[in-house]
Amino acid sequence: MHSTYPVSKKRFIFISLLPNLVFDIIPLFLWVVLPINDQDISSFLLSFASICLIIGAGDYMNVFNALTQMPKGTLTKLYGFNSYWYYPEKNQAEDSPAD
């Protein structure tokens, strides 16, 4: 998934890992836990989960960078293949003295 709107650190991690959970972890879990007698379905689940796990490597890298580099209270924004984090500006009304 990709969001060009600024999001918080927690939401960015959630957005990055959700497709990997759905397409990697759940099929892999089904392949391990369910006794599937049909060899074609079993090999399809394993192949699908393995390929999606490899394709999600960029998402894992983004999550690692977010966990190690983003300070608390920052927002991140994706632009192309790059992600940028920044401190949000404070509301001008809060900083200005009351008249």
pTM over the 0.85 mark: no
Euclidean distance between CA atoms 84 and 59, whole angstroms: 15
Is the pLDDT at 38 greater than 90? The verdict is no
CB 79, CB 4: distance < 8 Å: yes
Euclidean distance between CA atoms 96 and 99, whole angstroms: 9
Percent of the chain beyond pLDDT 70? 88
Q: If 0-12 CB within 10 Å is exposed, 13-18 middle and 19+ buried, where does residue 34 land?
A: exposed
Domain ranges of the chain: 7-95
